[in-house]
């Protein structure tokens, strides 16, 4: 009886250990490739009004229209319908599809306003649209590598004066928004992370994005904004890989792995104690 109790406890211990690491494996930063150096990347146009500051590269492809710079300032390189912008759009598509394929840890079935919430690292999926009115806190739990992924079938709306804030040691650059149509940051709102929208990204007057605004098919529209802070020339992990480029497991795969390792642990202890 004592041996059996020991085997069960060790098996449970294996499962508990795997459960503790599961949140870190459930969501991963997508491969950005050459898109990593861009803070603004449009599909057809990039337009600007007012003294916008873009920290990082600015590009457009397959369209070629970039307007409003100056008075806007680009602290990087502008690529209009050149090979660099074309490759960046291709890499952005890979990143968009990578985010779309990640398994949901939380799913919302109706249009959802996340204002007033505090969320932990994970993949948050929306059957239609997502919005923030007020403040949304993203709690990294002391882990600077914590990743937050938001996936909407339709729109993302950050209402006027609202903010998304990464707290407890997190990194703004580890927040990703995969938007099925268009994203709008209304006046004086603040958002961290990389927005990759299928159609367009619009920042109204005074909105701030600590990351990247990427529109795959249409426009990025700016108006007296600050955009950037996550752009770099480094190439992200290859498609399908995690931070180290290796394969990752979804929630179902991790559940199977937990069971198998728990059984293996019980078997090993059984052999050792018999």
Q: Could you tell me if 25 and 248 are in contact, meaning their C-beta atoms sit under 8 angstroms apart?
A: yes
Q: Choose among 56, 49, 53, 69: nearest CA to 212.
A: 56
Q: Could you tell me if 221 and 201 are in contact, meaning their C-beta atoms sit under 8 angstroms apart?
A: yes
| 261 confidence band (pLDDT: 50, 70, 90) | very low
DSSP state of 31: P
The pLDDT of residue 219 is: 98
269 three-class SS: helix
Q: Find all residues with CB under 8 Å of 53, minimum gap 6, and list them.
A: 72, 73, 75, 225, 226, 227, 228
% of the chain at pLDDT higher than 90: 75
Neighbours of 168 (CB within 10 A): 15
| 259 confidence band (pLDDT: 50, 70, 90) | very low
For 42-51, how does the pLDDT look when each residue is reduced to its tens digit (9 = 90+)? 999 999 999 9
Beta-strand ranges (E) seen in 120-174 are: 122-126, 130-132, 135-139, 148-152, 156-158, 163-167
Per DSSP, the residues of 43-107 read SSEEEEESS-EEESEEEE-S--EEE-TTTSEEES-EEESSHHHHHHHHHHHHHHHHHHHSPPSEE
Beta bridge partners of 164: 136
What's the length of the chain?
274
For 198-232, how does the pLDDT look when each residue is reduced to its tens digit (9 = 90+)? 999 999 999 999 999 999 999 999 999 999 999 97
Does 189 have pLDDT greater than 80?
Answer: yes
Q: Choose among 183, 180, 209, 222: nearest CA to 67.
A: 222
**Whole-angstrom distance, CA of residue 47 vs CA of residue 68:** 6
Q: Could you tell me if 195 and 214 are in contact, meaning their C-beta atoms sit under 8 angstroms apart?
A: yes
Rounded to two decimals, the pTM is 0.79
For 99-140, how does the pLDDT look when each residue is reduced to its tens digit (9 = 90+)? 999 999 999 999 999 999 999 999 999 999 999 999 999 999
């Amino acid at each position: 009886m004592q041996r059996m109790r020991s085997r069960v406890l060790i098996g449970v211990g294996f499962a508990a250990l795997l459960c503790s690491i599961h949140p870190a494996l459930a969501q991963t930063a997508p491969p950005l490739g050459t898109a990593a150096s861009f803070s603004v990347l449009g599909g057809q146009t990039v337009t600007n009004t007012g003294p916008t500051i873009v920290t990082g590269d600015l590009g457009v492809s397959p369209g070629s229209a970039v307007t409003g710079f100056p008075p806007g300032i680009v602290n990087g390189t502008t690529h209009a319908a050149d090979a660099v912008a074309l490759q960046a759009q291709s890499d952005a598509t890979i990143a968009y599809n990578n985010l779309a394929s990640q398994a949901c840890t939380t799913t919302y079935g109706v249009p959802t306003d996340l204002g007033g919430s505090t969320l932990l690292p994970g993949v948050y999926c929306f059957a239609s649209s997502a919005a923030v009115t007020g403040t949304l806190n993203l709690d990294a739990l002391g882990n600077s590598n914590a990743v937050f992924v938001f996936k909407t079938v339709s729109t993302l709306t950050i209402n006027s004066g609202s903010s998304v804030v990464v707290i407890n040691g997190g990194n703004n650059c580890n927040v990703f928004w995969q938007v099925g149509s268009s994203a709008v940051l209304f006046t004086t709102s603040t958002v961290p992370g990389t927005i990759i929208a299928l159609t367009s990204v619009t920042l109204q007057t005074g909105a701030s994005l600590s990351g990247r605004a990427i529109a795959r098919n249409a426009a990025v529209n700016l108006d007296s904004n600050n955009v950037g802070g996550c752009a770099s020339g480094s190439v992200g992990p290859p498609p399908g890989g995690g931070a180290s480029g290796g394969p990752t497991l979804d929630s179902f795969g991790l559940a199977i792995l937990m069971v198998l390792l728990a059984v293996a642990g019980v078997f090993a202890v059984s052999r050792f104690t018999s």
